[in-house]
Structure 1
Amino acid sequence: MSITILGQISAGGAKLPLYSFRVPAGFPSPAADHIEKHISLDELFDIRAPHVYVAKIEGDSMQGAGIFSGDLVIVDRSLYAEHGDIVIAALNAEPVCKRLHMRENSCILTSENSKFPPRHVMESDELVIWGVVKYSVRAHGKS
């Protein structure tokens, strides 16, 4: 596995250094001559756009998709939800984070954890898609 080091998060939308090398599970010290450019996390995730919002996830139904309880998800309301997308929705006024499956004339909301059965959306149900999940963010430090 390799990662791209973006730098420490700064307050106020400051631009952070993006290093041009990848770190293969080691502890090298990023040198200033490897800085490719400066980026802003709010620009990278398009957080300041009026159609984008951040939501905190509670529960373990989406852990198979890499979304864990306590994670933040960045959601785009402007995207049309398609088959296979992870969405934030209200099912009968209850907010949920699920994978959307569209089959001919049916809609199914599925979890990414086998402990939770799929939810078939019936004609009598009210489903409102609040947006498509674009990114998830997880804290790895001690709280």
Structure 2
Amino acid sequence: MTYLYDLQAGAPVAVAALPLLVADLGAVVHAGFPSPAEDLGAKRIDLTAQLVKHPQATFTMRARGDSMREAGIFDGDVLLVDKAVTPRSGHIVIAVVDGEFVCKQLQLRAGRMKLKAANPSYPDIVPREGQVVEVWGVVTASIKTMPL
């Protein structure tokens, strides 16, 4: 059995050992003008295989707030966080700042770190001298639920 750790719930969440298969119509969906579907033949894709590359190092967290909205991360989104991915400049990361988890874009320049918000209403985080900031993992996916 594979588990993802949900920090919101404070406990592992089981991911089925079997793949999570959903129908893939193979069609491109245009967000502008409608286009008739040419081929509605459905195959299956495994969402777990698509979204989770390192199962033992992948965790879920729930986004709160709107500081990352311009990066497409909104309040309530479920974030997949992979601790096995080496963080690079430009990655969206989960970092621990003063004991609190934050989601920001990592910027590295000349040996200095900045955690950049994706909303101009929020300040960037530039670690002060002696302040401990740990990049905890890299956000690999944001899952959102549409209102019904």
Deviation digits for residues 67-120 of structure 1, max 9, x if unmatched?
001011111100111111110010121110001111113111110000111111
Give the superposed CA RMSD: 2.3
Q: Which runs of structure 1 show a deviation greater than 3 angstroms over 4 or more consecutive aligned residues? A: 11-14, 25-31
Matches within 5 A, 1:35-114: 35=42, 37-46=43-52, 49-114=55-120
Distance in 2 between residues matched to 1:54 and 1:30, nearest whole Å: 37
Q: Which amino acid aligns with 1:63?
A: R
Quote the offset at 1:16 in angstroms.
1.5
Contact 2:61 2:81 in 1 (8 A): yes
Q: TM-score, normalised by structure 2?
A: 0.78
Q: How many residues align?
A: 130
Gaps in structure 2 of 5+ consecutive residues: 1-14
The SS at the match of 1:112 is: coil
Deviation of the 1:24 alpha carbon: 2.2
Tell me if the contact between 1:54 and 1:74 (Cα under 8 Å) persists in the aligned partners: yes
CA contact (8 A) 1:51 1:76 kept: yes
Q: Alpha-carbon deviation of 1:48? A: 7.1
What SS class does the counterpart of residue 48 from structure 2 fall into? Answer: helix
Give the CA deviation at 1:127. 1.1
Matching of residue 34 in structure 1 with residue 41 in structure 2: yes
User: Which residues in structure 2 correspond to 1:111-130 (within 5 Å)?
Assistant: 111-130=117-136
Query: Contact 1:53/1:74 (CA < 8 Å) preserved in 2?
Result: yes
Q: Distance in 2 between matches of 1:65 and 1:56?
A: 15
